[in-house]
């Protein structure tokens, strides 16, 4: 049972932004799959005022811009992401991440914007957005700014949204995907309806001539308080042979960037072991063309 103090339901971005500027304490609700659960567990609902943005058409849809960048509306749900042809063609790991979220009902309402703005390290879409150097378009009534996703996460549950600001779009730059391939592995205890013990997203370009990694970006979820990139491993990877040995070296380095900790859900030791194993697994699928099964 819910009993909120106030609820606005708007279908126009301008109206939403102006409301948010006048009443900055409004809590934005998109799919509500995080917000409603928080409300059930402890929020003082009578003090809660919600701004429903779900019907704002400007925040929906996935399209390729003229410059080749891919723009994803913050309100796209994971079902739409999983089935989108542009993403299927260009950003497989995001499709894989979308398919791994919750179950069919959740995927039909949970939005990618909510996934990111909720600010948790286990957000399945986040590691891939890190690995693709996604940019976030944030708007207020009066201004608009672009923030790289690496600067968006401030800490557990904390993101760089300023007062009155909405996330409107997520942009994947052309340079991040053209000529690149990727893979997302969600390691969870269950095959559905579960939170990742570890999420690994790799995005790489191979120099065919030398058989070496020309570029590699590794995004990890649940390897620290926020999603993160494996800078040491990425630097090491450039020019490293795409071989079992080379990959083992990269995977070993990936652990260096992590800040895994022990909780009752999993130990630091186990999470670090998984980082090494799963980074290797994600990259090994290049060498043998065989895909692992963790994300089935």
Ligand X SMILES: Cc1cc2nc3c(=O)[nH]c(=O)nc-3n(C[C@H](O)[C@H](O)[C@H](O)COP(=O)(O)OP(=O)(O)OC[C@H]3O[C@@H](n4cnc5c(N)ncnc54)[C@H](O)[C@@H]3O)c2cc1C
The residues that touch another protein, with contacts defined as CB under 8 A, are 1, 3, 45, 103, 187, 189-195, 197, 264-267, 270, 273-274, 277-278, 281, 293-294
Mask of contacts with ligand X, 222-261, x by CB under 6 A? ----------------------------------------
**In this structure, how many other beta carbons lie within 10 angstroms of the beta carbon of residue 200?**
34
If binding is defined by CB under 6 A, does position 56 make contact with ligand X?
no
Nearby residues of 88 by Cβ (< 8 Å), 6 or more positions away: 95
Among 70, 76, 161, 237, binds ligand X (CB under 6 A): 161
Return the SS3 of 239.
coil
Report what 110 binds from another protein, ligand X, none; CB cut-off 5-8 Å by kind.
Answer: ligand X
Among 98, 129, 166, 202, binds ligand X (CB under 6 A): 166
Q: Which residue has the tokens 């944030």?
A: 138
Report what 161 binds from another protein, ligand X, none; CB cut-off 5-8 Å by kind.
Answer: ligand X
- Shortest reach from residue 171's CB to ligand X, in Å: 14
The vertex-76 CA angle with 130 and 186, nearest 5°, equals 45
- CB nearer to another protein: pick between 107 and 169: 107
Report what 134 binds from another protein, ligand X, none; CB cut-off 5-8 Å by kind.
Answer: none
Q: How far apart are the first and last CA of the chain?
A: 35
- CB nearer to another protein: pick between 41 and 142: 41
**Beta strands, E only, 116-226:** 135-139, 144-148, 153-155, 158-159, 166-172, 181-187, 198-207, 212-221
- CB nearer to ligand X: pick between 17 and 250: 17
Q: Compute the Cα dihedral for 149, 151, 152, 156 and give only its sign.
A: positive
Among the listed ranges 27-35, 141-149, 223-231, 244-252, the one in contact with ligand X (CB under 6 A) is: 27-35
Residues that bind ligand X (rule: CB under 6 A) add up to a total of: 28
Dihedrals phi, psi of 129, to nearest 5 degrees: -60, -35
**In this structure, how many other beta carbons lie within 10 angstroms of the beta carbon of residue 10?**
18
Identify the helix (H) or strand (E) that includes residue 6: strand 6-9
- CB nearer to ligand X: pick between 129 and 167: 167
Q: How far is CA 37 from CA 7, 34, 43, 272, in A?
A: 17, 5, 9, 30
Report what 27 binds from another protein, ligand X, none; CB cut-off 5-8 Å by kind.
Answer: ligand X
Return the SS3 of 29.
strand
The binding site for ligand X (CB under 6 A) comprises: 27-35, 37, 74, 101-102, 106, 110-111, 113-115, 117-118, 122-124, 161, 166-167, 193
């Amino acid at each position: 049972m819910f009993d909120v103090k106030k609820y606005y339901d708007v279908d126009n971005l301008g109206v939403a932004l102006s409301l948010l500027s006048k009443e900055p304490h409004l809590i934005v609700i998109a799919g509500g799959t995080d917000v409603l659960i928080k409300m059930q567990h402890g929020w003082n609902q009578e003090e809660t005022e919600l701004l429903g943005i779900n019907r704002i058409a400007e925040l929906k849809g996935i399209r390729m811009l003229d410059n080749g960048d891919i723009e994803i509306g913050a309100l796209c749900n994971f079902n739409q992401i999983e089935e989108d042809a542009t993403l299927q063609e260009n950003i497989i790991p995001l499709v894989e991440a979308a398919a791994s979220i919750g179950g069919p009902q959740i995927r039909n309402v949970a939005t990618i914007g909510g996934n990111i703005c909720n600010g948790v390290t286990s957000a399945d879409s986040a590691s891939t957005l890190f690995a693709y150097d996604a940019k976030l378009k944030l708007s207020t009534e009066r201004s608009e700014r672009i923030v790289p996703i690496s600067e968006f996460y401030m800490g557990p549950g904390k993101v760089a949204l300023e007062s009155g600001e909405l996330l409107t779009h997520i942009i994947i730059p052309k340079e991040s995907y053209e000529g690149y391939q990727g893979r997302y592995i969600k390691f969870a205890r269950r095959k559905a309806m579960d939170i990742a013990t570890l999420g690994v997203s790799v995005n790489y370009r191979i120099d065919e001539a030398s058989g070496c990694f020309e570029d590699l970006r590794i995004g990890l979820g649940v390897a620290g308080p926020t999603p993160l990139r494996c800078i040491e491993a990425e630097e090491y990877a450039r020019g490293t042979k795409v071989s079992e040995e080379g990959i083992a070296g990269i995977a070993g380095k990936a652990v260096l960037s992590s800040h895994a900790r022990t909780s009752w859900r999993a130990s630091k030791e186990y999470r670090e072991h998984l980082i090494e194993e799963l980074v290797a697994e994600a990259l090994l699928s290049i060498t043998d063309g065989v895909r692992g099964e963790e994300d089935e």
